[in-house]
Structure 1
Amino acid sequence: MAAETEIGESAPVKKGIPKLFIIIGAAAIVVLLGGAGLFFFLSSGSASADAEHAAAADSHGATAAAAHTFIFNLPPMIVNLNNAGDSGAFMKLTVALEVANEAMMVEIQPRMAKVVDAFQVYLRELRKSDLEGSAGVYRLKEELLRRVNVAIYPSRVESILFKEILVQ
C-alpha cells in the first residue's frame, strides 16, 4: 500500500513538469520573435532613412542639402477667436513659411495677400478649445499648410513654422 501511495503522489508531479516547460518554452519563443520583429522593424526604418539621406548627400553634397530651404517670415497676426458664449478670446500668431529655394520666395511674394486672407478667415472660426494641447497645434499647422498651398498654387510651401503662438 505504501508503494501505491508513492506512485500515486509522484504521477501528478511528472505531469506538471512538462506543462511548465511547454509554457516557459512558448513564452521564450514569443519574446524572441517579438524582439526579432522589433529589431527588423526599427532597423528597416532607419536603413531607408539613411539611404535617402545618403542619396541626397551624394547628389547635392551634405552642406548643400541642408541649405536648400529658405524661410519666408510673415507679419504677426492678431485675430479674435470664435467665442461661442465665452469672453472675447484672441490669438497672436507669428508664422514663417519654409520654401524649397529662393526663386519660390520671389514667386509667392505677390500672392501673400491671399495667404494672409486665407489664414485670417480660418483663424477667426477657431475656438480656444480647438488650440488646446499638442494635437490642436498640429491640426492648426496642417490646416495652415494646406491653405497656403491652395493660395499660392502652383508654387508650394514645404512646411509651416510657428515662431509665436499666444492664446488669451
Structure 2
Amino acid sequence: MSDESPAPPVKRSRRKLLLLSGGGLILVLCLAGGAWFAGIIPHRNGGRNTRAVQIVAEKPVLVDLPDVLANLDTGGRRTSFIKLKSKLQVAHAADVAAVQADMPQILDLFQTYLRSTRPDELHDGEGVYRLRETLMGRLDGLLAPVEVTDLLFTEMLIQ
C-alpha cells in the first residue's frame, strides 16, 4: 500500500470551456447554413401557404435578317464578294420589335465587319465560327437590353 493519493482531476477553467463550446456551436451552425445554401439540406416553406410560382419556359424566337452582300478585303487583288443569309435568335418574343427597329444598325454592323474580312479567313469551319462569335459579340453590344441567344447562318456564298 502506498501513501500516494490519486491526483486531483484537472480542472479546466470555465472560460476556456465556454469558448470551446461556443466555437463548436458556431462551426456547426456555419456548416449547416452552408449545406442549406448549397441545396444539400432541402428548403422548406415553413408550412406557410404560399402561391407556387410557375416558370413558363418561353421558346426563343427567330428573326430573319435581310440578305447582306458585301465585298471582302482582298488587298488589291481580284474583287471577292460574300452573300450572307442569316437569322437572329432572341430569347423573348417581346424583343422582336426592338430588333426590327435596330435593323439598319445591324446591317451596317454586318457590312462593316465583312468588308474588313479577308476571303481566306472564311474558307474553313473555324473561320465561320470566328465570324459568328465576333458578330454575336457586336450584336450583344448593339442590342444591349435584348438577349441575343444565337446567330444562325442559313446561306453563305463567297465568290
Question: What does 1:25-40 correspond to in 2, within 5 Å?
Answer: none
Contact 2:72 2:119 in 1 (8 A): yes
Can you list the C-alpha shifts for 1:82-101, whole angstroms capped at 9, x where unaligned?
Answer: 01132100000011000112
Question: What does 1:79-98 correspond to in 2, within 5 Å?
Answer: 79-98=70-89
What amino acid is aligned across from residue 130 of structure 2 in structure 1?
R
Can you list the C-alpha shifts for 1:76-115, whole angstroms capped at 9, x where unaligned?
Answer: 1110000113210000001100011210112222111111
Q: Which residue of structure 2 lines up, in the alignment, with residue 120 of structure 1?
A: 111
Pair member with larger Rg: 2
Q: Which contiguous aligned blocks of 4+ residues in structure 1 show a shift greater than 2 angstroms?
A: none
What amino acid is aligned across from residue 139 of structure 1 in structure 2?
R
The answer on 1:164 being equivalent to 2:155 is yes
Q: Which residue of structure 2 lines up, in the alignment, with residue 15 of structure 1?
A: none
Q: Which residue of structure 1 lines up, in the alignment, with residue 129 of structure 2?
A: 138
What amino acid is aligned across from residue 146 of structure 2 in structure 1?
S
The answer on 1:109 being equivalent to 2:100 is yes
Aligned mates of 1:108, 1:128 — CA distance in 2: 29
Contact 2:69 2:83 in 1 (8 A): yes
Aligned mates of 1:150, 1:139 — CA distance in 2: 17
Aligned mates of 2:147, 2:99 — CA distance in 1: 9
Aligned mates of 2:143, 2:92 — CA distance in 1: 15
Aligned mates of 2:140, 2:103 — CA distance in 1: 11
- Unaligned 5+ residue runs, structure 2? 1-53
TM-score when normalising by structure 1: 0.59
TM-score when normalising by structure 2: 0.63
Can you list the C-alpha shifts for 1:17-41, whole angstroms capped at 9, x where unaligned?
Answer: xxxxxxxxxxxxxxxxxxxxxxxxx
> Residue 90 of structure 2: which of 99, 108, 123 is its match?
99
Larger % of helix: which? 1
Larger % of strand: which? 2
- Unaligned 5+ residue runs, structure 1? 1-58
CA-atom RMSD in angstroms: 1.5
Q: Give how far 1:151 is off.
A: 1.2
